[in-house]
Structure 1
Amino acid sequence: MLSLNSLRILCSSRAALHPNWLMTNRVSVFKAVTCSTHWTSTSFPNKDTWHCDVNSRAPVKDRGLTYSTKQANSPRSYCTGQIKQNCWNCKQSLDKAQAFFCVSCNAVQPPEEGASYFKIMDCDCTFALDTKKLQKRYLQLQRSLHPDNFSQKSMKEQEYSESQSSLVNKAYKTLHKPLSRGLYMLELEGMSIEEGTDSGADAEFLMELMEINEALDEAQTPEETNKIAQDTKGKLADLTERTDAALRKGDFQTAKALLAQMKYHANIEEKVKEKLSQFM
């Protein structure tokens, strides 16, 4: 297999002889960059990581983001509205939009079907949410819903507390970081991450990623590695700001493209952490 440096020289020489070569062969370049990639993010709903394995996955040209509309699960209704429910234990009406406990008998309730993570965590349905408020809400809910609090309760309440606690954990992990939060917001709009489709990343961006990965591989000191870390942090901050602006305007296609770039840089950020740990 060619090294990144050899591949870079090959790409540069062919591009010089044939100006259109890089664009027409961007899928091959993309494969070289991403087949060593370990995606670190939050997936929905089951996994927290993406892995690339050339022996078990579809061709790289078939990976990326696709758009689909799901009318049956209207995402905007997840953030607003109240559904009247009754307590399973005492049958009294539950007045709160997201009632974890019955106000009459104090029995823990089952998770509300279809409730968004924003609703569960009592947050505004926005990309630029207050993470301090989110963390405070998380700690509050976990203190009250932790299964240890229901060891002497009925099996039904123990089951409900475990379900609610697990759901709160998942909601917090998803909303806490900008990347996973943005991907979740796209999912609420019917846009999803699909493996096996073209990501749409252009050749110039892929070449930039190759150079960063190459520099990281060749870094010999913590100082060199930290320089890459700071550059990556700056790129992620810029992408986060631009994604927020796009989502505020309702420009989900632009937000999708920006979040795709964030995934690449988030992966580099994780590789930087691994590299720094080697110097300790």
Structure 2
Amino acid sequence: MQTLNSLRALCWSHRRDPCLLNVCTALYSSAVSEKTFNFCSKDMRRNTGVCDFKVLEAHMTLHSKNSTRNFCTSSTVRNCWSCGSSRQLFFCSSCKVIQPPIENVNYFELFNCDQTFALDTQKLQQRYLELQKSLHPDNFSLKSLTEQGYSELQSALVNKAYSTLQKPVTRAVYMLQLQGVHLEEGTDSMVSPAFLLEVMKVNEKLWETQSREEVASIGQSVREALKDLNEQINAALNKGDLQSAKELLARMKYFSNLEEKVKEQLTESL
């Protein structure tokens, strides 16, 4: 088993490679990050320099600082801010005016797709393009400031939801969050030291190799590992085995990073 001093030496020897350094450091430490945000963006200030009250209220609701968010699984029936009639997710069913985002709306519902890890990404992309076509701020340039602001918020929400569901890692993280399970920023405690050393060895091979063929071979192995993890996570989520899904997801994050590094090296070698 690696001693603490030897692990520190590994970290020092790989200090110029952030990816390898992170893996080495992860063997005996974890990282925690904090995220901050602005409630009122420059795009919402307009000429007056002040946020429209309704837009600011929606923005604050959409980006609550509460770290223990509760996610709803279906949209709540609300009234249109303009005419008072019942509204849908994006527009009023009566006057057709754009609406503010619904608090903590389920991303799967937003795209009208099944809440499953093995979702149809082509259908997801098609729905995304349709929504952005109707919600894009350019369509509301002649509307009121309130409608322009809601358009920006809805468009930003759709972008965020799409980027979350499009990739397996972020999709799995989100699905666990829907069940009240949160994967901490530092996931190192979820994987064994032996696994971390295995990942470090693969990183070292990528760092040292000058052969495009060898990089491609490593990439193939990484993709096969990711495919297997995808199947295991899907099975675990379908069974409701959230702890297993969480542990598998921690491993998937490392392999996803390896996949990105393989892509970068193949691009650089062109």
> Where on the TM-score scale, by shorter chain, does this alignment land: which range?
0.7 to 0.9
SS of corresponding position for 2:83: coil
Q: Deviation of residue 79 (structure 1)? A: 2.0
Which residue is 1:90 aligned to? 83
The structure carrying a bigger strand percent of its residues is 1
- One-letter code aligned to 1:264: Y
Q: Deviation of residue 191 (structure 1)? A: 2.1
| Percent identity of equivalent pairs | 48
Show the 5 A alignment for 1:84-123: 84-94=77-87, 96=88, 99-123=89-113
Give deviations 1:237-264, integer Å, cap 9, x for gaps: 1101100000001111111111111110
Change (3 A) 1:129 1:27: farther
Which residue is 2:63 aligned to? none
Which residue is 1:228 aligned to? 218
Which residue is 2:168 aligned to? 178
Distance 2:26 2:253 in 1: 19
Distance 1:197 1:179 in 2: 13
**Which of 116, 134, 155 in structure 1 is aligned with 2:124?**
134
Distance 1:238 1:58 in 2: 23
The answer to whether the 8 A contact 2:91-2:99 is kept is yes
Change (3 A) 1:84 1:26: farther
Aligned length: 235
Change (3 A) 1:179 1:52: same
TM-score by length of 1: 0.74
The answer to whether the 8 A contact 1:79-1:119 is kept is yes
Distance 2:260 2:22 in 1: 15
- One-letter code aligned to 2:134: S
- Structure 1 runs of 4+ off > 6 angstroms? none
Matched, 1:79 2:73: yes
Distance 1:185 1:27 in 2: 38
* Larger RCO, structures 1/2 (Cα 8 Å, 6+ apart): 1
Q: Deviation of residue 212 (structure 1)? A: 0.8
Distance 1:26 1:187 in 2: 37
- One-letter code aligned to 1:105: C
The answer to whether the 8 A contact 1:60-1:197 is kept is no
Which residue is 1:241 aligned to? 231
Distance 2:14 2:171 in 1: 23
Which residue is 2:44 aligned to? none
* Greater CA drift, 119-128 or 226-235: 119-128
The answer to whether the 8 A contact 1:61-1:197 is kept is no
Change (3 A) 1:220 1:258: same
- One-letter code aligned to 1:61: S
Which residue is 2:53 aligned to? none
Structure 2: 5+ residue stretches without partners: 33-65
Q: Deviation of residue 197 (structure 1)? A: 6.7
Give deviations 1:61-107, integer Å, cap 9, x for gaps: 2448xxxxx9x7554xx223x4221111111122x4xx211122111
Show the 5 A alignment for 1:187-202: 187-195=177-185, 198-202=188-192
Which residue is 1:143 aligned to? 133
The answer to whether the 8 A contact 1:243-1:258 is kept is yes
Distance 1:37 1:252 in 2: 31
What value does the CA root-mean-square deviation take over the aligned residues? 3.2
The answer to whether the 8 A contact 1:108-1:160 is kept is yes
Matched, 1:165 2:155: yes
Which residue is 1:61 aligned to? 29
